[in-house]
Amino acid sequence: MPTLYFHLRNLGRKVTGTRRRQRRLFAELVRRGDLVLDVGANIGEFTGAFRDLGARVVAVEPQPRLTAHLRTRFRTDPLVTVVATAVSDREGEATLYTTSADALATLEATRANGGATGAGAELEWKDTITVPLRTLDAIVAEHGVPALVKIDVEGHEPGVVKGLTAARPSVFFEVNQPGAATVIDTLAGRGYTDFYVREGEQPDWVSREPMTAARVAEYLAGSTGDHDCLALAPDATADRRPAPARAGS
C-alpha cells in the first residue's frame, strides 16, 4: 500500500500542476548548477521542480518511508542527494511526531498536541519515531553553500533557521504560526531585508515589491489561509531577485 499511496500522491500533484507552479515561482532565484537544500522534502515535488531548473539538490527528510520513496524516485539522478535526518539548531536525536493522513511530521510537541494553527495542524499526530538531528550549518559544511534553502517542517522552522549561521542564502519557508515571526526576526538579525509572500500554492508572489521584516510580519499576522515566505539573500544580485511587475501587467 505505501507504494500505491506515493504513486497516487505524485500523480495528484502532477495533475494539479504543483511542480509547474513551483518551477515558475523559483525560475528567477535558481540557476542551472546552483545548490538547493530542500528541507522537509516529503515526496519530492519541490526537489523535482528544482531539478527542472538545473539545480543540484540535497533533499533532507527524516521519515524513513519518505526517504525510501525519494531514493526510488530520484534513483537515476546523480544530482539529487537524499539525507535522512531532521534539522534543528542542535545535533543529536529527537522525537518526531507523525501522522499517516498526509505523510506529515513535526518536531513540535505543541503542534502535535493541537496547540498550533496552519495546514496539517488539525490532523491526528498519534505516532512517534526517534530521528537524528543535524543543523543546516553541518549540512552546508558537508554539501556546500546553497543558493536557496526551502524549509517545510510543520512548525519547527524557527529551530531550523537558528541552525543556519555559516551562510546567507535565500530562504523560502512555510508560514506556520506562531513561529513565523521568530523566523523573520532571526533572519532580519542576520541582515535579511527583503521579504516576499506567496499565498496558497500560487506561481507568483503577492507583491513583487519587497516587504521589510516588520511589514511582512504584520502582513502574515493579519492574514488567513496558507502562506509561504521568501527571505531574499542579502547579497542577491539583480538577476537573482523577483523582477518588479511591468506597468500594465
Cell numbers standing for residue 76: 537515476
How confident is the model over 189-239, as pLDDT tens digits?
999 999 999 999 899 999 999 999 999 999 999 998 899 999 999 999 999
Contacts of 180 (CB under 8 A, 6+ apart): 157, 217, 220, 229
- Would you list the DSSP string of 32-73? TT-EEEEET-TTSHHHHHHHHTT-EEEEE---HHHHHHHHHH
Answer yes or no: is 245 within a domain. Answer: no
Task: Look at residue 164 and tell me if it is in a domain.
Answer: yes
The runs of H, that is alpha helices, within the chain are 2-15, 18-26, 45-52, 64-73, 109-112, 136-143, 157-162, 180-189, 213-221
Compute the distance between CA of residue 233 and CA of residue 167 in angstroms, rounded to an integer. 10
Is residue 248, in this structure, part of any structural domain at all?
no
**What is the mean pLDDT of the segment spanning 116-121?**
56
pLDDT of residue 148: 98
User: In this structure, is residue 90 part of a structural domain?
Assistant: yes
Pairing mode of beta strands 148-151, 170-174: parallel
CA dihedral 82, 80, 22, 35 (to 10 degrees): 100
Q: Domain containing 203 — which CATH number?
A: 3.40.50.150
Mean pLDDT across the stretch 8-26? 68
What is the rounded average pLDDT for all residues in the chain?
Answer: 89
Q: What is the C-alpha separation between 180 and 231, in angstroms, rounded?
A: 12
Over the stretch 131-145, which tens digit does the pLDDT of each residue have? 999 999 999 999 999
Q: How many structural domains are present in the chain? A: 1
Average pLDDT (154-178) is: 96
- How many residues belong to the chain? 249
Residue 249 lies in a domain: no
pTM above 0.85, yes or no: yes
Q: How many CB atoms lie within 10 A of CB 111?
A: 23
Residue 4 has pLDDT above 50, yes or no: no
pLDDT at 102: 65
For 72, the domain range is 2-240
Percent of the chain topping pLDDT 90: 76
Checking if the pLDDT of 1 tops 70, the result is: no
Q: Is 130 exposed, middle or buried (0-12, 13-18, 19+ CB in 10 A)?
A: exposed
For residue 147, the model assigns a pLDDT of: 98
User: Where is 83: in which H helix or E strand?
Assistant: strand 80-83
Note the pLDDT of residue 8: 46
CB 61 within 8 A of CB 41: yes
Q: What pLDDT is attached to residue 247? A: 52
Question: Is 143 a member of any domain?
Answer: yes
Inside any domain, residue 129: yes
Residue 94 is assigned to a structural domain of this protein = yes
